[in-house]
Structure 1
Amino acid sequence: MDVADLTRELVSIPSHEDETAAGDFVESWLREQTAAAVERDEDGNVFARVGEGETTLALAGHHDVVPPDDSQVDADGSYVVERRDGRLYGRGTADMKGCVAAAMCALRDVDPAALGCELVFVSFVAEEAGCLGSEAAVDDGFAPDYAVVGEGSTGYSAAGVTDVAVAHKGRRGSTITAHGTAAHASEPESGENAIYRASDAVDVVRDLEFPSTDVMGHEVAGSVAVTEIDGGSAWNVVPERCEVTVDERTVPGERAPIERVEELPGVEWTVDQDLPPMACEDAAFADLVLGVAADSQDGTPEHVVKPHATDAGNLARAGTDCVVVGAAEPGEAHTADESVSLDVLERCYRIYRSVAERL
């Protein structure tokens, strides 16, 4: 079974509400088709290990997907998968069952005796729910020395070129809650208007400087934005509560000081989600992967920065030096016409296998 056929099999399995069946397929295939030591942890993450050595390299991905568009589901509930014009169409083709399949085939085809490291394939659960599977794995002690994460890195420097991402932003989502005292709107002076207090907090957020840093000569710039506001109970009541949602794109080593809003009376700040950013700190590893990527295609790949969080953030938190190399191009994932280039999937297979053999 080649990468295209394996991708088709894996993509056809629904995994937006429950990824158990997809995990079962990955686990069974690895047990049947490889000589790896395969295990499934209590969270549903699937691991497969071959080779020996003091250094560990992980080929990492995830087998859950976002909910499909109606056009991507058959009447029996299975996912529609179509092959045309050199591409495979269907929910999860680009994000990211295609590169999970490429990594599975790479693990199958390497010669364990020729490896200078332990090679670990891992497919995490619940990436789309906030990278929960990789978070649990890291908390349980999973910390390879190096990792190639198969999220999209194609088309960043030039169309069709598979680049090597050496950093990505994280996301910290938080809520500012302003408390006041309710009163009749005809006598506003007898209460404390929570919306006014929330407006003062919004002004604080608006004036914050965006965090930024440098990774291997590339600027990684974050952002902070108020994205939702909710307050008040009736047109004639001074509101006693108002909530403001803040989206921050974090960068390695830097955070915006949003906690300053708590210096205002009646205002508190809580963090709802904190997906770590990633920065590769081993330039030699990043250069090795870039060299492999260059040897695997006609284009000239570059080190690039991704704008959004992946499982690489949790791995980096554990001390793993990560890069992101994958087939998905900007704008392909999470769409009604999601697709992936079959040629680029084969390219990713070659990159994954070659990195393992050269490390």
Structure 2
Amino acid sequence: MNLTDPTEILATLVRCPSVTPEEGGALDALDTMLGELGFRRDRVTFQEAETPDVDNLYARLGEDGPHLMFAGHTDVVPPGPAEDWTHGPFSGEIAEGRLYGRGAVDMKGGIACFIAALARLLSENDKLPGSVSLLITGDEEGPAINGTVKLLEHAAASGERWDAALVGEPTNPNELGEMIKVGRRGSLSARLIVEGTQGHVAYPHLADNPLRALISFADALTEPPLDTGNDRFPPSNLELTSIDTGNTATNVIPASTEMRFNVRFNDLWSAESLEGELRARLEVASMALKYRSGQPPMRYQLSFQERPSPSFLTRDDRLVATLSGAVAAVTGQTPTLSTTGGTSDARFIKDYCPVVEFGLVGQTMHKVDEHVEIDDLETLTLIYKAFIENWFAATQRAG
């Protein structure tokens, strides 16, 4: 295989049906490729009760000097019915200048480009002026329990330390060069159960309708807004995602109802402070329900997910400037520094070293006929190559 060609690498990876948590041959293929480039590799499977076992790969080239990590995942979301695809979801077919397949964008393409960039650098130099490692998981699209978190702990316990990290998630909305992720909003999910008394709708005085209270509780959680954002983050946002009573009858007041919601929050909040704010809003609302005058407050239970994702912002100017400079040099664009979008494994990496994210255009990720432009693969490879070279040079100058 020509490891300087990102298209050939990506086609090989896409043909591996690595739907979470299945390895599908993707890590085996990467293991072989990185071995050819001289990396020492560590394959490790992590386990936890009531979660699927997950295979992971950590590989390092070099033993000293500045240490740059590239992080990514080979697992992909299910493709849905294969007949819905113009080209098979695991075919890796190329048509009209595009490579098709699940994971082409999210995010086997980023991995392919980074490996190709390294291969080109190694073909020009005897060795790198430092160390490069790849931290690749098979659990990013799943529970994210037996993947990056544990792989970082495992590597750190073995003595690994990193100076900076690049995550190859698709970050560009429309064209390559638009956007670098320099942080992420936090994510907090919650479940609210409101308890009432079941009864006949014709005799409401004999019942206690929890849905009435739920409306007021929902208003209290969403208004006023949690904040107005700041210069690096948009406003925090709470979205209701589900309301369910399990009631199939039209003449029965339900005994209880359940609402689920998620908050994407900026760095004005921690998970703990946000939980406190939401509990306070519900407590005030429970005491102020107009139709319950003279009655005790409405009973409710609020619970939060066990592993909320924190917000973070990378403030390493050298890392951000080096990546921005590489993007501008190759594409002619000055990328926007953004914290928008969902969560990524960068939220775990930031506890070990500064981290930024830059990858392909994400328009087709998770969609039928997911694909990447072949030209974009070459462009991203050139950006990664320039970034690696310039980051080592800037780090050595600073040191």
| Partner SS, residue 275 of structure 1 | coil
Aligned to 1:192: 208
Matched, 1:19 2:33: no
Relative to its length, the structure with more strand (as a share) is: 1
Q: Which residue of 1 aligns with 2:191?
A: 175
Task: Confirm or deny that 1:353 pairs with 2:373.
Answer: no
State how far apart, in whole Å, the 2-side matches of 1:245 and 1:176 are. 6
The CA deviation string for residues 310-333 of structure 1, in whole angstroms up to 9 with x for no partner, is 1112212x142111110123x221
Match of 1:223 in 2: 237
Structure 1 unaligned residues grouped into runs of 5+: none
Alignment pair present for 1:100 and 2:104: no
> Where in structure 2 are the equivalents of 1:126-275 lying within 5 Å?
126-132=139-145, 133-140=147-154, 142=156, 144-155=162-173, 159-211=175-227, 213-214=229-230, 217-233=231-247, 234-254=249-269, 256=274, 257-263=277-283, 264=286, 265-272=298-305, 274-275=308-309
For 1:241-320, what aligned pairs fall within 5 Å after superposition? 241-254=256-269, 256=274, 257-263=277-283, 264=286, 265-272=298-305, 274-316=308-350, 318-320=351-353
**What secondary structure sits across from 1:104 in the alignment?**
helix
Mapped contact 2:240–2:260 kept (Cα < 8 A) = yes
Tell me, in whole angstroms, the C-alpha distance in 2 between the residues paired with 1:78 and 1:90.
4
Q: Which residue of 1 aligns with 2:375?
A: 343
Could you say which residue in structure 2 is the equivalent of 1:324?
357
Once the two structures are superposed, residues 148-173 of structure 1 have per-residue CA deviations (whole angstroms, 9 ceiling, x without a partner) of: 111112346xx443532212333322
How many residue pairs end up in the alignment? 350
1:61 touches 1:100 (CA, 8 Å); kept in 2? yes
The change in CA–CA distance for 1:199 and 1:138 in structure 2 (over 3 A counts) is farther
Q: How far 1:54 sits from its partner (Å)? A: 5.8
CA distance in 1 between partners of 2:42 and 2:84 (Å): 30
Number of the residue aligned with 2:365: 333
CA deviation after TM superposition for structure 1 residue 244, in Å: 0.7
Q: Which amino acid aligns with 2:31?
A: E
Point out the structure with max Rg over C-alpha: 2
- C-alpha spacing 1:163/1:35, structure 2 compared with 1 (3 Å): same
**Aligned CA distance change for structure 1 residues 274 and 23 (closer, same or farther; 3 Å):** same
Deviation at 1:138, TM superposition (A): 4.1
State the percentage of identical aligned residues: 25
Structure 2 residue runs without a partner (length 5+): 47-54, 287-297, 392-399
Q: Distance in 1 between matches of 2:41 and 2:144?
A: 22
- TM-score, with length taken from structure 2: 0.79
Would the alpha carbon gap of residues 129 and 305 (structure 1) be closer, same or farther in structure 2, given more than 3 Å must change?
A: same
RMSD: 2.7
* Alpha carbons 2:20, 2:138 under 8 Å: kept: no
Of 61, 66, 72, which aligns to 2:77?
66
Matched residue type, 1:337: D
Counterpart amino acid of 1:150? G
Partner SS state of residue 307, structure 1: coil
| Structure 2 residue 122 is matched with structure 1 residue 122 | no
Q: Compute the displacement of 1:212 (Å).
A: 5.2
Partners of 1:10 and 1:323 in 2: CA distance: 24
> Paired residue for 2:63, among 28, 40, 52?
52
